[in-house]
Amino acid sequence: MPLIDEGKKAPAFSLADQDGKTHRLADYAGRPVVIYFYPKDDTPGCTKESCAFRDNLPKFKKSKAAIFGVSILDEASKKRFADKFDLNFPLLADPNHEVADKYGVWQKKSLYGRQFMGIVRTTYLIGPDGKIARRWDNVKVDGHAEDVLNAVQNL
C-alpha cells in the first residue's frame, strides 16, 4: 500500500505492546497520536530515535500526545529493548507487518546489493480528529523527536 497523505483518515490499528497490553487507535480519539515506524529493536539508529522520544516524553505529555514506536519484532523483543533503555512508552509489535502495510511503510529495501522487504523509517502525526496531520519520510534520527514535538505543539 502507498504511504498515507496528510489530511486522510489514519488507518485503525490494534497491536500489543512490550507488556502485552493492546492499544487501539480508537482508544486515543480526541488527542494527538505519534506513530514512528522503525526497522529493528536495539540497533543503533532505532535506539537513538527511541531514546530521543523517551527524553522528550514529558513535553509530549504536556500536549496530551500519545507516542508509539512500531516494528515487526515480537513483544518479547520489545520488552528487552524497553527494559534495556528505559523506554517508558508503548512499543508495539507488528510481527505480520499488517499495520506497517496499512501505513505504507513495509517496502522493498536494498542493502549491500541485497533486496528485501522491511520497514522504512517513517513517522506519522495523527491529529485529534483522526486524520494524518503530518508525515515524515526517510527519517533522519538526529533532531527528529524535537521536530515531531514542535509539530504536535503547533496542532
Q: Which residues are catalytic?
A: 46
**Residues sharing a CB contact under 8 Å with residue 85, sequence separation 6 or more, in sequence order:** 42, 47, 50, 51, 54
Strand, coil or helix: 34? strand
Number of neighbours of residue 102 by Cβ within 10 angstroms = 16
Nearest 5°: the CA angle 138, 76, 65 is 50
Position of cell 513535553?
A: 59
Dist. CA 124–CA 104, nearest whole Å: 11
What sign for the dihedral angle of Cα 68, 141, 129, 4?
Answer: negative
Beta bridge partners of 67: 34
Beta bridge partners of 22: 16
